[in-house]
Chain A
Amino acid sequence: MKQKLLWALARRHVWSDANSTVVRMVSALSITGVAIGVAALVILQAFMGGFTEAIATGLTAMNPPLHIFVPGGGQMDDFDLGAVQSIALGVPGITSVVGVLEKPAVVSGAPGTVTGAMVRGTDNAVLTVGVDLARELDIRAGDEIRIASTAGVEISGMGRVLVDTIVALVVDSVRDFGIEEYNCSLIVLPMNTARNIFRAHGELTSLGAYVSSGTDPVMASEMLNTALYEEYVGGGWPVYMSCIPFLAFHGNLFKALGLERIAMTIVLALITVVALLNLSSALTMIAMEHRRDIGVMRAMGLSPSGVFRISIFRGFLLGGSGAVIGLAFSWISIFAVNRFFPIKLDGSVYWIDVLPGVFPVTTAFIVTLSTILVCLAVSAFPAFSALTHSPSEALRYE
C-alpha cells in the first residue's frame, strides 16, 4: 500500500488536473524531449542498420560467404576444387565448396541492343539475367540472348581470328539480385555453359565456400586459411591459396558506414543528453514546487526513504514515459516509412532502390533501458536534496 501511495504521489506531482499549468507543461516538455531523443536514436539505428544489412544481404545472396583464390590472379582448376574441398569440409561450419568461373563478355538481346556484362558460371545454376540488364536488352524469361567472348578467340600464325565464340542461349529467369551493380551487369549460368563460352575447360577463376547458419564467416575463413597454408607449407600441393570472407572485399564500404553510424549516433545521443538535462531541471523544479508538500508528508510520518523514493519515481515516470513513447513512436515511424512512405534511393549510387528500416530490437532495448537508468540517476539529485532539508525547513518554505 505504501509503495502504491508513493507512486500515486509521484504521479500526481508530475501530472494531475490539480497541478499548475506550468508543472504540467514542464512535465510534458520533459517527456517529449526524452521521447524525441530515444526515437531519434532508434530511427537512426533502424535505417543505418537497415541500409547496411540490405547491402550485405544483397552482396552475400549472390556470392558464397567465403572466397578462395590464388593471390596474384593465378588460375585454378577442377583439381584445386577437389583438393580444397577435402580440406575445407574438415573446417567446422563449412558445408560445401563450389567452383566459380567469372569473366566479362559482350551480350545482345532484342535486335539493336548490345552491352557488356559479367558472366558467372557456377554449378547447379540456370541462366539468370539481372533485372536492369534484361530491361536494357529488352528481354524477358524465355527470350534468347547471345553472349560473345574474346576469351575463347584463337588467333592463327597469320594473325587471323580462327574461332570467335558467340553462343545463343534462352533466358530461364530475370531476377532482382538486390544490388544495383548486379542487376545492371550480371548473368549467372551453368558452369558447363560458361566454360563453353570462354573455352575454359576445367578452368576456374575462384572457389567459394558456404557456411552453416550461425557460423561466423570471418572465423571460418581464418581457420580455412590456416589449413590451406599448412597444406601448402607441408608440400601437399604447390599452389598457395588464400581465403577471405566475401564481405571483406567491401570492407571499406562497411567501415565507412560504421563510422558514419557512430558519428550520427554521437550527434543524436547529444540530443538525448540535452533532453535529460531538461528533465533534470524539470525534476528540480517539480521538487521545489512540492517542497512544502514533502514537509507536510514528513509531518504526517513519511520516512526519509519514502521522500527519496517519491523523487526517484518522479524521474522514472517522466523518463520512462518519454522512453516508452519514443520507442512506440520510432516503431510506428519505421513501420509507416516502410509501408506507406518508402524512402527512394538512386540505385546507381546507393546499390539499393529503397532505404529499408529494420527495427533494431537489441539497440532499442539498450537505448530505452539506458535512458531510464540515466533518468533515475538524474532524479537522484533532487532526491538527495529533499533528504538534506528538515521537515520544518520545508514547511517554512513558501
Chain B
Amino acid sequence: MLAASGIYCSYGSADASIKVLRGADITIKVGEVVAVTGPSGSGKSTLLHALGLLERPDRGKVLVCDEDGWELSTRKRAELRNRKIGFVFQFHHLLEEFTLRENVMMPCLIAGESSEEAASKADRLLEKVGIIHRASHFPSRVSGGEKQRAAIARAIVMKPDIVLADEPTGNLDADTSVEVENLIMKLADEGSRSFLLATHSQDLASAVHRRFSLSSGVLSEVL
C-alpha cells in the first residue's frame, strides 16, 4: 500500500542544514493502522508530508500503491494524491470560504466529478461522521470537533487507499479528542483503508496495529 525507504529530509542551506529525517523506512499494508509518535519537532509532519508526496525528500523512495510517487510528473503526482491519499491536519485546514459540505466535496470536484455526485458523496460522509446538520455551515460557525470530523470526511471522500493524519486530535479538548479518535478507529476498522497517524496521544497510539517512534530523525518500530 505505502512503502518508503531511505527517506532523508533536511531544512536550511547546505552549511547550516538541519537533518530532520535520517533514512526512514516504513511499510504500511492494506487495512493497517500505524501510529508515529515522537516529541514536537521530531519530524513527524515532515515524514507525513514526504510520504504524502507533499515535500520532496533529499533522498529516498516513496511507493504509493506500487507507484514511485516522486518519479511521477507533477500532474500525475497531484492525481495520485487526489485518488490514493487522504490528509487530515492538526488544525483541520478547512477552506473558510466554503461550507462543510463544499469542503468535503472539494477532492471530488478536483477529480472532475459533477457537483451533484460530489454533494451526494459529501452528504453520505457527513451523515456518517455525525455532522450532516452542519453541512451548510461555514467552518467559522462550527466547533473544533465538528471541523475535525468534516476534515476526516474530506480525507476519505475519494475512498483513498491511505489516510495520513497529522496529530488529528492535537488541537482538541479531551472529550472531543476521544470522539475523533473513536471515529478514526471506526473508519479504520472498515477494512481496506490504511491509516498512518502522527500523534502525541498515547490512547490513540496504543489502539493501532503497529507503532513507530521518531527521535533525532531516526524512525524505529516500537515492538
CB distance A293 to B95 under 8 Å? yes
Task: Return chain A residues, CB-CB under 8 Å to B87.
Answer: 296, 299-300
List CB contacts (< 8 Å) of B47-65 with chain A: 49, 52, 54-56
Task: Return chain B residues, CB-CB under 8 Å to A296.
Answer: 87, 89, 93, 95
CB distance A303 to B49 under 8 Å? no
CB distance B110 to A13 under 8 Å? no
CB distance B140 to A300 under 8 Å? no
CB distance B55 to A390 under 8 Å? yes
Given contacts A1-B109, A2-B110, contact A300 B82 (CB under 8 A): yes
Complex-state Cα separation, A176 to B106, whole angstroms: 68
Interface band, chain B? 35 or more
B72-80, B174-182, B199-207: which lies at the interface? B72-80
Per-residue 0/1 for A9-35: is the Cβ within 8 Å of any B Cβ (1 yes, 0 no)?
Answer: 100110011110000000000000000
CB distance B55 to A297 under 8 Å? no
A5 interfacial contact with B, CB 8 Å: yes
A219 interfacial contact with B, CB 8 Å: no
B189 interfacial contact with A, CB 8 Å: no
Nearest A residue (CB) for B155: A300
Count of residues in A whose CB is under 8 Å from the partner chain? 32
CB distance B54 to A392 under 8 Å? yes
Complex-state Cα separation, A164 to B168, whole angstroms: 112
Per-residue 0/1 for B78-116: is the Cβ within 8 Å of any A Cβ (1 yes, 0 no)?
Answer: 111111000101010101111000000011011111110
B138 interfacial contact with A, CB 8 Å: yes
CB distance A301 to B115 under 8 Å? no
List CB contacts (< 8 Å) of B108-132 with chain A: 109-115
Task: Return chain B residues, CB-CB under 8 Å to A301.
Answer: 78-83, 107, 110-111
Task: Return chain B residues, CB-CB under 8 Å to A390.
Answer: 54-56
Task: Return chain A residues, CB-CB under 8 Å to B49.
Answer: 391-392, 395
Task: Return chain B residues, CB-CB under 8 Å to A300.
Answer: 81-82, 87, 106-107, 110, 154
Task: Return chain A residues, CB-CB under 8 Å to B113.
Answer: 1
CB distance B78 to A298 under 8 Å? yes
Given contacts A18-B96, A392-B49, contact A303 B54 (CB under 8 A): no
Nearest B residue (CB) for A394: B54
A289 vs chain B, min Cβ distance (A): 10
Contact residues of A: prevailing secondary structure: helix
Task: Return chain B residues, CB-CB under 8 Å to A299.
Answer: 52, 54, 81, 87
A302 interfacial contact with B, CB 8 Å: yes
Complex-state Cα separation, A218 to B48, whole angstroms: 76
CB distance A391 to B55 under 8 Å? yes
CB distance B97 to A16 under 8 Å? yes
Given contacts A302-B78, A303-B78, contact A292 B109 (CB under 8 A): no
B85 vs chain A, min Cβ distance (A): 8
CB distance A5 to B110 under 8 Å? yes
CB distance B54 to A298 under 8 Å? yes
Per-residue 0/1 for A263-296: is the Cβ within 8 Å of any B Cβ (1 yes, 0 no)?
Answer: 0000000000000000000000000000011011
CB distance A12 to B81 under 8 Å? no
Complex-state Cα separation, A64 to B113, whole angstroms: 69
Complex-state Cα separation, A392 to B166, whole angstroms: 12
Complex-state Cα separation, A292 to B87, whole angstroms: 14
A152 interfacial contact with B, CB 8 Å: no
CB distance B54 to A391 under 8 Å? yes
Per-residue 0/1 for A381-398: is the Cβ within 8 Å of any B Cβ (1 yes, 0 no)?
Answer: 000000000111101101
Task: Return chain B residues, CB-CB under 8 Å to A392.
Answer: 46, 49, 54-55
B146 vs chain A, min Cβ distance (A): 16
B7 vs chain A, min Cβ distance (A): 13
CB distance B110 to A18 under 8 Å? no
Task: Return chain A residues, CB-CB under 8 Å to B107.
Answer: 300-301
Choose from A4, A17, A297, A396 the contact partner of B106 (Cβ within 8 Å): A297
B182 vs chain A, min Cβ distance (A): 25
CB distance B54 to A13 under 8 Å? no
CB distance B89 to A395 under 8 Å? yes
Task: Return chain B residues, CB-CB under 8 Å to A9.
Answer: 95
Per-residue 0/1 for A357-396: is the Cβ within 8 Å of any B Cβ (1 yes, 0 no)?
Answer: 0000000000000000000000000000000001111011
A304 interfacial contact with B, CB 8 Å: yes
CB distance A1 to B112 under 8 Å? yes
Task: Return chain B residues, CB-CB under 8 Å to A293.
Answer: 93, 95-96
A395 vs chain B, min Cβ distance (A): 7
Nearest B residue (CB) for A301: B82
Complex-state Cα separation, A299 to B83, whole angstroms: 11
Complex-state Cα separation, A393 to B9, whole angstroms: 14
B101 vs chain A, min Cβ distance (A): 13
A378 vs chain B, min Cβ distance (A): 22
Nearest B residue (CB) for A23: B97
List CB contacts (< 8 Å) of A179-193 with chain B: none
Nearest A residue (CB) for B166: A395
Per-residue 0/1 for B30-57: is the Cβ within 8 Å of any A Cβ (1 yes, 0 no)?
Answer: 0000000000000001100100101110
List CB contacts (< 8 Å) of A30-72 with chain B: none
Task: Return chain B residues, CB-CB under 8 Å to A295.
Answer: 54, 93
Task: Return chain B residues, CB-CB under 8 Å to A12.
Answer: 97-98
B119 vs chain A, min Cβ distance (A): 12
CB distance B110 to A395 under 8 Å? no
7 A-B contacts (beta carbon < 8 Å)? A2-B112, A19-B96, A19-B97, A301-B83, A302-B78, A302-B110, A392-B46
Q: Which 3 A-B pairs have the closest CB atoms?
A: A301-B82, A392-B55, A12-B97
Chain A residues close to B by CB (< 8 Å): 1-2, 4-5, 9, 12-13, 16-19, 292-293, 295-306, 390-393, 395-396, 398
